[in-house]
Structure 1
Amino acid sequence: MRDLTVTYSGGARAVRGVDLAVDAGQKLGIAGESGCGKSTLALALLRLLPAGTKVTGEILLNGEDVLTMKWGRVRAVRWAGASIVFQGAMHSLNAVHRIGDQIAEPILLHGGASPAAAARKAGELLEQVGLPAARASAYPHELSGGQRQRVMIAMALACDPDLVVADEPTTALDVMIQAQILRLIERLVSEQDLGLIMISHDLAVLSDTCDRLAVMYAGRVVEEGPAAEVHRDAHHPYGRALSGAFPRIGDPASRFAPRGLPGDPPDPSALPDGCAFHPRCPVALDSCATRDPEPRESGPGRRAACVLVGPEAATAARPAAEEARNTP
C-alpha cells in the first residue's frame, strides 16, 4: 500500500496516506480502536468498498495495482490472489447451503475443477483446518462458533491465494477457541508461505501472532515496528495508551491500575487540525494543534508519527514524554 487514501461519499476520510507492506510468509498486524480505519483498509485491498467511495494511491499485489485493474481482473484476483476472513462467520456463510458446497464454489469458479474434484478439495481443506471431511454435509447452524470460523479460513484458502486478510477473526470466540484459531492461522501461514494481514483492537493478540505491527488512529498509521516491541514499549502516546488498556498477566501494576484514554477517536468527516490525536494526548504540545507529523524513524525497524520521537524531537518535550511513559 502506497499513500493509500479512502474517502467515503459523505466526505469522511477513513484512511489517510497509509504506507504498508507485507511479504510472503510475513504476518502484519493492524491495531486500533473502532473507527480508526482498519476494516476500511481491508475492504480497499480488494475493492469491496461501496460505490461512490474515492480511493487514491496504490495497492500493489505481486506488483499489479488493484486500483487500476479492470473488473474482470479484480474478480479473478479475489479468492485466487487474495482472500478475506471476515469477523463473524454467520454474516458470511449462507445458512441454507451446506458448508462443503460453499467451500467448493470458489474452486469451481476460479480453478475450473469438476464438481467431484471441488468436493474432494473442500473435504481436504476442512481436514487442513482441523475438521473432519464428513462435516462438509453440515449446515452452518450445525457447527459451533469456532468450527464456523475454521470453515471461513478453509474458504479463504480454497484457491491458494498469496495473501489472506483476517478482519478480527476471533473477536466473537471464547479465549480457548481463540487461541486454537490463532495457532491454526500461524501454522497455515508458515506451511503455505502466505502473506497475512490480521486486524484487531487487541495488541496482545497481535503481538503474540504477528511479526510486525501497525497502529492506526484516525485513518493514519501512527506507529509501526516489530510486534512484540511495539506492544512492550510503544513510542507513540496512542500506542502506549492502547497497550496499557490490556492488563498483562503477572504484572500487578497493570492489573490493579489499567490505563486507557477518555473520549473516542474523531469523526473522520470532522478531523481536528494538526495531529488528530492531540485532543486526547496526555503529552500534547502547543505545536501539536497545528502540526501533523509524518511517520519518522524512531528506532531500528520502527516508525512513529509524533513530534516527541526521532532525532528532531524538541529537547524541552522529552521530560513530558518520560513523565507520560512512567505514569500508570
Structure 2
Amino acid sequence: MTLLDVRNLTVTYPGGAAAVRGVDLRLAAGEKLGLAGESGCGKSTLALSLLRLLPAGARITGEILLDGEDVLAMKWGRVRAVRWAGASIVFQGAMHSLNPVHRVGDQIAEPVLLHRRATPARARAKAGELLEHVGLPAARAQAYPHELSGGQRQRVMIAMALACDPRLIVADEPTTALDVMIQAQILRLIERLVSEQDLGLIMISHDLAVLADTCDRLAVMYAGRVVEEGPARQVHEDARHPYGRALSEAFPRIGDPASRFAPRGLPGDPPDPSALPPGCTFHPRCPVALDLCATEDQALREAGAGRRAACVHVDAGAGATAAGQGVEDEDEVRSSAP
C-alpha cells in the first residue's frame, strides 16, 4: 500500500529560486527511502514541504498524497492534526531543536498532550515509555538537553518523533554531528523502529554509504531534481548517473587501497537555484558531458530493473551508462558523440 505519493512537486522561493523541480516519489509503509545529494540540492526543502513547514514566501505546486490525502489541499487545522500524528520529522542538530530550558520528558509529552488529549500523568508516562523504547532510562526524562550526550539527545528527538504514533518519519541527516560508533547505534535503532512499527522512512544524507546500508531504495537529487533512483545498494555501488557516481567515489572504501589513497572528488558546487544553467544542470561539472547536454535537458529513463537515471548515456536495453566507465574514458565518450 502506498503511504506517500509525491507528484510533480515544485518549490520556488522569492526571487525565482527553484529549490525543487518536478519531483515524483513514492513510498510504501515499512519501506525506507534515502535522499542523497550535496547541500543546496533541495533535499531539506523537499522534506519540509511534506508537512508544509516552508517559510511563508515559498510557492508550492504539485501533489503530496499522504495516505491518499493531499497535504497541499488541506486546511490548516487538518495540517496541524497530520503533523506528529500522521508524519513527523527528526531534524539534524538535536541541540538546536530541543528547548534548552525545558526537561526532555516535558518536550516529549507536549505533542501527546496536544494531539492525543492525554492527561498530564499519562503524557509523562508515555514519555518515559518512549525513552525506554529508544534505549534510554525513563529517569532521563528529568534531564535538560545540555545534561545529555549528542547520541542521547538524538534518541530523544527520535522518541519525540514517535510520540503520536505517526505513519511516516522523515529523518533529515539525523547522525551528522555524531561519531561513527554512536551513528551506527542510531541507524540500527531507526531501522528497528521502522521494522517493528511498519513505518515509512525518508532518510536524508549526503553519504551514500550510510543510505545504502540503511535504506531499501535511494533517490539522488541534484539542482532540485531527482537524477537517479533505484535499489539503494545498487545505486551506491554502480551508479548510472555521473553525479551519483561522483557522490559514491567521494568517500574512501574500506579494503580498497585505490580509493583510500586517491578518493575522487567533484570540482565546483551545485548551481544557484535562481540561475540554473541551460540543458542538463549537471553538465558544467560532468566529466562525460556531450555537446547536446548543454542544450537538452534529460528526463528520468529506465536504467535497468527497477532503476531510473536522467542521463543521455543511459542505455535502457543494456541497463548501463557511459558514466560507469569513469573519468578515464572521457575522451572516448566525447569522441562517440553524434
Q: TM-score, normalised by structure 1?
A: 0.96
Aligned to 2:285, what secondary structure does the other structure show? coil
Query: Contact between 2:240 and 2:324, CA under 8 Å: does it hold in 1?
Result: no
* Aligned-pair CA distance for 1:253: 1.4
**In structure 1, C-alpha distance between the alignment counterparts of 2:28 and 2:198, rounded to whole Å:** 9
For 1:230, the equivalent position in structure 2 comes to 235
Aligned to 1:19, what secondary structure does the other structure show? strand
Q: How do residues 246-257 of structure 1 correspond to structure 2 at under 5 angstroms? A: 246-257=251-262
Q: How do residues 136-147 of structure 1 correspond to structure 2 at under 5 angstroms? A: 136-147=141-152
Change (3 A) 1:120 1:220: same
* Aligned-pair CA distance for 1:70: 0.2
For 1:268, the equivalent position in structure 2 comes to 273
Q: TM-score, normalised by structure 2?
A: 0.93
**In structure 2, C-alpha distance between the alignment counterparts of 1:117 and 1:253, rounded to whole Å:** 57
Which residue, 171, 176, 198 being the options, matches 2:203?
Answer: 198
**In structure 2, C-alpha distance between the alignment counterparts of 1:322 and 1:37, rounded to whole Å:** 25
For 1:45, the equivalent position in structure 2 comes to 50
What do the CA deviations read for 1:67-88 (whole angstroms, capped 9, x no partner)? 0100000000000000000000
* Aligned-pair CA distance for 1:52: 1.6
Instruction: Give aligned pairs, total.
Output: 324
For 2:333, the equivalent position in structure 1 comes to none
For 1:282, the equivalent position in structure 2 comes to 287
Change (3 A) 1:322 1:248: closer
Matched, 1:7 2:9: no
**In structure 2, C-alpha distance between the alignment counterparts of 1:275 and 1:127, rounded to whole Å:** 49
* Aligned-pair CA distance for 1:211: 0.3
* Aligned-pair CA distance for 1:324: 2.3
For 2:247, the equivalent position in structure 1 comes to 242
Query: Contact between 2:51 and 2:79, CA under 8 Å: does it hold in 1?
Result: yes
Which residue, 157, 165, 171 being the options, matches 1:166?
Answer: 171
**In structure 1, C-alpha distance between the alignment counterparts of 2:212 and 2:96, rounded to whole Å:** 27
* Aligned-pair CA distance for 1:10: 1.8
For 1:180, the equivalent position in structure 2 comes to 185
Change (3 A) 1:231 1:326: farther
Which residue, 124, 127, 131 being the options, matches 1:126?
Answer: 131
* Aligned-pair CA distance for 1:311: 3.6
For 1:65, the equivalent position in structure 2 comes to 70
Aligned to 2:201, what secondary structure does the other structure show? strand
For 1:149, give the aligned amino acid: Q
For 2:81, the equivalent position in structure 1 comes to 76
Query: Contact between 2:43 and 2:221, CA under 8 Å: does it hold in 1?
Result: yes
Change (3 A) 1:21 1:94: same
Change (3 A) 1:195 1:274: same
Which runs of at least 4 in structure 1 moved beyond 6 Å after TM superposition? Answer: none
**In structure 2, C-alpha distance between the alignment counterparts of 1:170 and 1:273, rounded to whole Å:** 35
For 1:212, the equivalent position in structure 2 comes to 217
For 1:111, the equivalent position in structure 2 comes to 116
* Aligned-pair CA distance for 1:326: 5.8
Unaligned runs of 5+ in 1: none
**In structure 1, C-alpha distance between the alignment counterparts of 2:329 and 2:143, rounded to whole Å:** 53
Aligned to 1:222, what secondary structure does the other structure show? strand
For 2:326, the equivalent position in structure 1 comes to 324
For 1:257, give the aligned amino acid: A
What do the CA deviations read for 1:282-325 (whole angstroms, capped 9, x no partner)? 00000001111110010000000001003489xxx97x645426
Aligned to 1:301, what secondary structure does the other structure show? coil
Query: Contact between 1:6 and 1:53, CA under 8 Å: does it hold in 2?
Result: yes
* Aligned-pair CA distance for 1:269: 0.3
For 2:334, the equivalent position in structure 1 comes to none
Query: Contact between 1:296 and 1:310, CA under 8 Å: does it hold in 2?
Result: no
C-alpha RMSD of matched pairs (Å) = 1.6
* Aligned-pair CA distance for 1:92: 1.0
**In structure 1, C-alpha distance between the alignment counterparts of 2:81 and 2:328, rounded to whole Å:** 51
Aligned to 2:26, what secondary structure does the other structure show? coil
Q: How do residues 18-33 of structure 1 correspond to structure 2 at under 5 angstroms? A: 18-33=23-38
**In structure 2, C-alpha distance between the alignment counterparts of 1:31 and 1:90, rounded to whole Å:** 23
Change (3 A) 1:124 1:273: same
**In structure 2, C-alpha distance between the alignment counterparts of 1:129 and 1:256, rounded to whole Å:** 38
Identity %: 83
